[in-house]
Amino acid sequence: MALTGKLIPQSFLGWRTLLKGPGLGPENTFFSHRKVYIYSHKTNLRMRKKLFCSLFTAFFLIYNSSFSQTVTTIHVSGRYILGPCNDTLILKGVNYAPYNWGWSPTQLRINQVALSGANCVRLPWYVTTPDGPTPQATYNNLVNLDSALSKCVQNKMIPIVELHDLTCANNATALVTLSNFFVQPAVKTLINKYKHSIVLNIANEALFVSWASNPTTAQTTFSNTYSTIVNTIRSNSITVPIMIDGPECGTNLDLLANVGQVLLAADPVNNLIFSAHAYWNSYAGNDSTQALAKINYALGKNIPFVFGEVANLQDDVTMCQYTLNYKPWLKIITQKKLGWLAWSWDNDGCAARQMTAAGNFTNLTTFGSDIVNNPIYGLSVGTVKSKYLVLGSCGTSTVGTGLSQITNGNINSFVYPNPSNGTFALKITRKVENGEFVLINSLGEKIHSQKISHEENNIISKGLPSGIYYYIILENKQRIGNGKVILE
């Protein structure tokens, strides 16, 4: 979604061998050959078999150790997105343009976004922008990008960097040129620094297929263009996931479903995520039944995809011209265990489409409050963060097989009664270590805290004014849950 609105009319092989098999982690993970030589007396078959078994076990342990070291990025397996620790990731987050689209170089509100419970943030960035010299100076300074990425990671959110220059543009040559941003040496250094968590969204809503004069030719152009871009990025030893938006201003999920497997096969490391934008007033008739059919069609293709933008309003001739039927869509998306990101946190060309009035979590709009607090799909409900970001590592054996479980991570919680008079029960899904319950008022001020440890805890916060409060659950000083409570 562009700041000024958008018209939507009615082979790099760094490893030598590929091994697939159950119990060995996700498919499409590479490892280097290891030769094992067996020396034994030819006449003693039993001894040879025993020695072979011992060496095979040693080989497996060596291989498994090597495998553990190679899975260092977010990666995909079938329709699923996995973290570096092989934990399944359902991306639930927010679109947020850092530095107020470049105009405010010191304005970075990622800590406010984190209060929503999001586990990822999509960050619009520009290579060359039409908005004048001030924002371009902000984008040209990669220290600013590094700072935004660092804040995301510090707040346990996956950063998705997307290039916004060609929003709704149909220029394949310009798209290839734009994507070269990611292979600049300084940018490659940043990608490597955050390779455990970063996702590269090549471009926002680029290219036309069904809107083109010849859709068949345009589909080939779409596939070939992105295959070229992906292979260029991979040839620069970049293995992090690459996100590809649908054509037709991001809306065309059907096209992504049809070409997804082709593009995955063309990626030397098979690490692509596809993203549709749910401005579906025309594309799905603003109808939940049509939306469900399109989602099921894409799921049937077994590709990893998310909804990179979900909003309450859609532009056309005027800003925010159509009211979108987003609530039943998000219920479907949640039921299907798919990821989604709301558009947008602040500073949108359509104020009614913003989640916040002024960028602060305490000033949620009606739309923002629903996105955060809806009991079925809200960001504060059941959003699980990357285990790597929560723990800072994967611990022992987890990366290698995906079988070991890390008990830390986000938890589900609820309070009752709610509303209450200030005394209520907090129920969480597991015991916590060095746990703390923190209550925050509408100004973002900490007004009450107490230690917690059990799955059910009595909270006593009497004497506070009536109103809406937010709570955060900490474990070892790391946030693992949050919610809302009403005091009468």
Residue 8: pLDDT band (50, 70, 90) is: very low
Write down the pTM of the prediction.
Answer: 0.72
Reduced to 3 states, what is the DSSP secondary structure of residue 306? strand
Contact of 342 with 302, CB cutoff 8 Å: no
Residue 410: pLDDT band (50, 70, 90) is: low
Are residue 210 and residue 316 in the same domain, yes or no?
yes
The pLDDT of residue 299: 97
Domain of 65 in residue numbering reads as 17-70
The DSSP bridge partners found for residue 413 are 428
Are residue 66 and residue 207 in the same domain, yes or no?
no
396 in a structural domain: no
Residue 461: pLDDT band (50, 70, 90) is: confident
Are residue 371 and residue 432 in the same domain, yes or no?
no
229 vs 85, 142, 234, 242, CA distance in Å?
Answer: 28, 22, 9, 10
The DSSP bridge partners found for residue 123 are 161
Are residue 422 and residue 384 in the same domain, yes or no?
no
For residue 452, what is the enclosing H or E element?
A: strand 446-452
109 in a structural domain: yes
State the DSSP string of 158-202.
Answer: EEEEEE-TTTT---HHHHHHHHGGGGSHHHHHHHHHTTTT-EEE-
Are β-strands 322-323 and 423-428 bridged in parallel, bridged antiparallel, or unpaired?
Answer: unpaired
The pLDDT of residue 292: 98
- Cα–Cα dist 117/470, whole Å: 11
Q: State the average pLDDT over residues 292-308.
A: 97
101 in a structural domain: yes
CATH number at residue 430: 2.60.40.10
- Cα–Cα dist 488/485, whole Å: 10
Residue 444: pLDDT band (50, 70, 90) is: low
The pLDDT of residue 256: 98
Question: For the range 53-56, what are the long-range contacts, defined as Cβ-Cβ under 8 Å and sequence gap of 24 or more?
Answer: none
25 in a structural domain: yes
State the DSSP string of 93-135.
Answer: EEE--HHHHTT-TT---HHHHHTTT-SEEEEEE-SS-TT-HHH
Contact of 352 with 307, CB cutoff 8 Å: no
The pLDDT of residue 129: 84
What's the pLDDT tens digit per position in 12-62? Answer: 223 222 222 333 333 333 333 222 322 333 334 444 444 444 444 444 333
12 in a structural domain: no
Are residue 303 and residue 425 in the same domain, yes or no?
no
Q: Which of 187, 250, 263, 194 is nearest to 223 (CA)?
A: 263
Q: Which of 287, 375, 284, 377 is nearest to 325 (CA)?
A: 287
CATH number at residue 279: 3.20.20.80
Query: Number of folded domains in the chain?
Result: 3
Q: Which of 187, 2, 202 is nearest to 101 (CA)?
A: 2
Are residue 185 and residue 107 in the same domain, yes or no?
yes
The pLDDT of residue 442: 63
Q: Which of 246, 278, 239, 250 is nearest to 260 (CA)?
A: 246
Are residue 25 and residue 157 in the same domain, yes or no?
no
- Cα–Cα dist 437/472, whole Å: 6
- Cα–Cα dist 206/246, whole Å: 7
222 in a structural domain: yes
Q: State the average pLDDT over residues 225-242.
A: 98
**HEC states along 357-380?**
CCCCHHHECHHHHHHHHCCCCCCC
Please report how many Cα atoms fall inside a 13 Å half-sphere around the Cα of residue 115, on the Cβ side. 26
Handedness of CA 144, 121, 432, 196 (dihedral sign): negative
- Cα–Cα dist 391/395, whole Å: 8
2 in a structural domain: no
405 in a structural domain: no
The DSSP bridge partners found for residue 94 are 121, 342
Are residue 51 and residue 159 in the same domain, yes or no?
no
- Cα–Cα dist 378/375, whole Å: 6
Are residue 257 and residue 352 in the same domain, yes or no?
yes
The DSSP bridge partners found for residue 283 are none
Mean pLDDT of the chain: 84
Which of 360, 390, 420 finishes a domain? 390
Are β-strands 272-277 and 467-475 bridged in parallel, bridged antiparallel, or unpaired?
Answer: unpaired
What's the pLDDT tens digit per position in 79-97? Answer: 999 999 999 999 999 999 9
- Cα–Cα dist 196/387, whole Å: 11
Would you mind telling me the total number of residues written for the chain in this entry? 488
- Cα–Cα dist 264/273, whole Å: 9
Q: List the single range of 305-309, 322-326, 411-415, 422-426 with lowest mean pLDDT.
A: 411-415
The pLDDT of residue 147: 98
- Cα–Cα dist 279/277, whole Å: 6
Q: State the average pLDDT over residues 260-272.
A: 95
Helix 142-154 to helix 133-140 angle, to the nearest 10 degrees?
A: 60
Structure tokens at 365: 């709009």
For 349, phi and psi rounded to 5 degrees? -65, -20
What's the pLDDT tens digit per position in 332-378? Answer: 999 999 999 999 999 999 999 999 999 999 999 999 999 999 989 99
User: Cα-atom radius of gyration of the chain, to the nearest Å?
Assistant: 24
Are residue 95 and residue 49 in the same domain, yes or no?
no
For residue 296, what is the enclosing H or E element?
A: helix 288-299
- Cα–Cα dist 415/482, whole Å: 11
Which of 332, 357, 390 finishes a domain? 390
Beta strands in 298-416 (DSSP E): 305-310, 313-314, 322-323, 339-342, 413-416
Are residue 383 and residue 476 in the same domain, yes or no?
no
Are residue 235 and residue 288 in the same domain, yes or no?
yes
